[in-house]
Structure 1
Amino acid sequence: MSVEMELRAVRVRYGPLEALHGVDLPVPAGTATVLLGRNGSGRTTVLRALAGAVRPSAGRVLWRGADVTRLPPHLRARRGLCFVPDLRAVYATLTVAENLRLAGDPDAALDAYPELRPLLPRRAGTLSGGERRMLAVSRALAAPARVVLVDEPSLGMSPPVAARTYTLLGALCARGTALVTAEQRLPENLPRGTLVHELRRGEITFSGEPGEPAARRLLGGPGLPGTRAVSDGS
């Protein structure tokens, strides 16, 4: 299993507060990685550090062995990184159709989320939370990327659409994409081979696979017995 990106002893500060305390995190190619934790645990900051949206106060960010710690977000995007944040992930003043055209292949997005088709003329800012989330996640599906980072991909979605979303994201892994998502609870429809990391107060407190007994104990009981892995995201 080759490592696509990696955090090595990364610390991130927001003013006087340190959000990450020397985090080590490998991101394997062709694999789904799920970051679990409550609000304030540091999972979003891990995504932002990988994307270049925040610069570590210490430690390094590597991409296929090359140090990209100081590489800005737009250059990481040109190298093949797609970051979908949890907030402000769509252009609110543009229509759904315009957002999709900026993302890449609109047809791929509409195949993934046909619910967006009747909404094409509407401005993205008028959509419901779940509709905006579908539009945001479709960015990751419309343009091929080597690394896809999505903060709470199923936020505001109905359970069937949330399950479909992880199936679609899992299919990216089958094509070799390194996928990293941040969630408060372990989602369903995880692709086979998913790795789970729990964060608490800026530190990784558990790393393993979803079905491990330690994961059931550490990661929160309800919701875990109902999760299931599906081969290659299908």
Structure 2
Amino acid sequence: MTAEIELRGARVRYGPLEALHGVHLPLPAGTVTVLLGRNGSGRTTALRALAGTVPLSSGQVLRHGYDITRTPAHDRARHGLCSVPDLRAVHPTLTVAENLELAARGGDFAPALTLYPALLPLLPRRAGTLSGGEQRMVALSRAALSDARVVLVDEPSLGMSPPVAAATYTMLLSLAARSAAVVIAEQGLPPGLDGRTPVVVPVVVHQLRRGSVVFSGEPAELTAG
């Protein structure tokens, strides 16, 4: 399966500490890839390396086989990469409506309100005044409204109720069904992506521990033990 985007031999350092130790991650289109691990495992750093918000100390980021290691984050975004980090994922001084307008092509953000009806009464509020779960809905709307070919999301359901989280994962699966490479970082396999129920697209798991990949395979293989 051809990778839409890929880390190859990626190493990332934060000062004297190395957070990724030569990680290789091929991330194919039409697939939901789960980067699984505890805090400090390297999963968030891997997403940041793909997005271009942290530099590699060695190794490569490849897009369709071309080296984009030195391509700035804003250029990666212009070429179809949507990144939703776990923190500071909204424009806090703008209203919810303004945040959604920025995310939507042509300013039509109606699909976001279909996905997250709870945002409707919040449209005039400044995004920085919302709760964590409400901000998460605004941030995830960026992925829902985009036509990105690569979607990177760190802990999609952070602060969300179970029904809203379920709607979010359904949305991410639908993006992969439209041939996007969807990559999510999680501490544990979320319901619906754990191999116990059928899904419309392939789901691949890479488990990270202390900056290295220790398992790669299907969710059912990981949960079987």
TM-score tier after normalising by the smaller chain length? over 0.9
Amino acid at match of 1:53: T
User: Partners of 1:107 and 1:144 in 2: how far apart?
Assistant: 15
Deviates more, 1:80-89 or 1:124-133: 124-133
Shift of 1:189: 2.3
**SS of 2:220's equivalent?**
coil
Shift of 1:216: 4.0
Structure 1, gaps ≥5 residues long: 218-234
Alignment match, 1:229:
none
Alignment match, 2:164:
161
The answer to whether 1:100 aligns with 2:100 is: yes
TM-score, length of structure 2 as denominator length: 0.94
Alignment match, 1:203:
212
**SS of 1:35's equivalent?**
strand
Alignment match, 2:196:
none
The answer to whether 1:188 aligns with 2:194 is: no
| Count of residue pairs the alignment pairs up | 216
Q: Is this contact kept in 1: 2:30–2:202, CA < 8 A?
A: no
Amino acid at match of 1:211: A
1:123 to 114, 123, 126: 126
The answer to whether 1:42 aligns with 2:42 is: yes
The answer to whether 1:10 aligns with 2:10 is: yes
Identity within the alignment, %: 69
**SS of 1:211's equivalent?**
helix
Deviates more, 1:107-116 or 1:67-76: 107-116
Shift of 1:50: 0.4
Q: Is this contact kept in 2: 1:62–1:68, CA < 8 A?
A: yes
Shift of 1:203: 0.3
**Higher relative contact order, chain-length normalized (CA < 8 Å, sep 6+):** 2
**SS of 2:156's equivalent?**
coil
CA shift digits 1:18-67 (9 cap, x unpaired)? 00000000000110000111111000000000000111101011000100
TM-score, length of structure 1 as denominator length: 0.90
User: Partners of 2:188 and 2:46 in 1: how far apart?
Assistant: 17
Amino acid at match of 1:193: P
Alignment match, 1:20:
20
Alignment match, 2:180:
177
User: Partners of 1:7 and 1:211 in 2: how far apart?
Assistant: 24
Alignment match, 2:84:
84
Distance 1:178 1:125, change over 3 A: same
Q: Is this contact kept in 2: 1:30–1:174, CA < 8 A?
A: yes
The answer to whether 1:73 aligns with 2:82 is: no
Structure 2, gaps ≥5 residues long: 194-198
Amino acid at match of 1:39: N
User: Partners of 2:86 and 2:191 in 1: how far apart?
Assistant: 19
User: Partners of 2:142 and 2:224 in 1: how far apart?
Assistant: 32
Amino acid at match of 1:8: R
1:138 to 136, 141, 164: 141
